[in-house]
Amino acid sequence: MISLLIAALLLSAPARAAETPPAAPVAAVSVTVLKDRFIEATSAAEKTKILDQLAKTSPVSGQDVAQLFDLFSRFTDTYTRDSVMASLSRLTPGNPQLEPIFMNYLRQPEPEAQLFGVNGAFRLRSRVALPMIRAIAERKFGASAVTENNVMTERNSWWTQYEALSALAQWEPEKSQSLLERKGEQSAKVGTLLGRYYWRQTLPKLRAWSRSGDLIASERAALAVAAPIELADARATRAQMLDLLRDPKVDLEIRHHIALKIGVSSTDEEAAALVAEHDAVKNDTDRLFWATAAFSTRSPKIIPLLVRYARQTGDDAMRKGATAQLLDMVGEAEARRLMEPEKKK
């Protein structure tokens, strides 16, 4: 059973007392200093705190970049590497002093160095690095999925190529579309990039991919439809998405993600229309998709439908989900009032 979309509750920070003087500005700590503190830290909690700070700190010198790469190459856990990449993503584009450093990493034979170089050169938008990144992206995938590689070096090589394709999709989208489509035939994971950066071109292909009987194509469709997209792309393709949502032959997972995309990009008037279509359909499965679309709008127009699900549905998970969203949207007192049984006249 496809669950309802339940948004996380928003917590408001307490206001600072008026008499509290503003804190004195704190000098920024460099990437190099944070790296040294990480190495010296003895507890996991302390290391995590330092990595969180590192992720918010921009490298500004060659030494900073070198320290980031040292962390990246020495520690292969996801949290450390994600923190390094988050720091790298804060690079200022067009820094001529750092450009040769990333070119050097791209020239190294080790995939870890190339992976680091791809991300850094992309953040700098280094035009001289672009041909090297394209050459990496054009390589034949060693496996259709990174999980098929048992050796860490091979996994890093796979991710290096994927990151190169991601960089090209963002950097030169029109020139790179055909390349990504070809690589999507080799690896389903490229579907994430096709959905994220080429949604308008990819959406019309989802139905055929999911029905092809080809494992890579069907998985590519599932990953493409699950990718986040821009609001403008959702608005431009709304009619096409509604057509897919109404098609009972379309894969259930695809319809679920389409419902979410329709919902979060809907106006209040469109939210009301989603509720009306929900009420009109007879099939229970179809009705769930329209409920998912309606509830993900977060529009006041869907509150009566939320109340109905919270009061009447026989599905315990859906009832709890609707109740939680109702509480989040209107508050406890109003939710209690809306949930009161209707008085007989």
- pLDDT on residue 181: 97
- pLDDT on residue 342: 63
Calculate what percentage of the chain has a pLDDT beyond 70: 91
Residue 146 DSSP code? G
- pLDDT on residue 11: 25
Tell me the DSSP string of 5-56.
P-PPPP-PPPPPPTTSPPPPPPPPPPHHHHHHHHHH--SHHHHHHHHHHHHT
Tell me the per-residue pLDDT of 80-135, one tens digit each, with 9 for 90 and over: 999 999 999 999 998 889 999 999 999 999 999 999 999 999 999 999 999 999 99
Tell me the per-residue pLDDT of 181-228, one tens digit each, with 9 for 90 and over: 999 999 999 999 999 999 999 999 999 999 999 999 999 999 999 999
The pTM of this model reads 0.85
Tell me the per-residue pLDDT of 261-306, one tens digit each, with 9 for 90 and over: 999 999 999 999 999 999 999 999 999 999 999 999 999 999 999 9
- Determine the Cα–Cα distance for residues 130 and 285; give it in Å rounded to an integer: 48
Q: Which residue has the tokens 């209040």?
A: 268
Tell me the per-residue pLDDT of 302-337, one tens digit each, with 9 for 90 and over: 999 999 999 877 778 888 999 999 999 999 999 999
- pLDDT on residue 13: 32
Tell me the per-residue pLDDT of 8-42, one tens digit each, with 9 for 90 and over: 322 223 333 334 444 434 457 999 999 999 999 99
3-state secondary structure of 295: helix
Q: Residue 153: which pLDDT band, with cuts at 50, 70 and 90?
A: confident
- pLDDT on residue 151: 84
- pLDDT on residue 315: 79
Residue 263 DSSP code? H
Q: Residue 142: which pLDDT band, with cuts at 50, 70 and 90?
A: confident
- Determine the Cα–Cα distance for residues 64 and 327; give it in Å rounded to an integer: 47
CA torsion 34-40-44-45 (nearest 10°) is -50
- pLDDT on residue 47: 96
Count, residues in the chain: 345
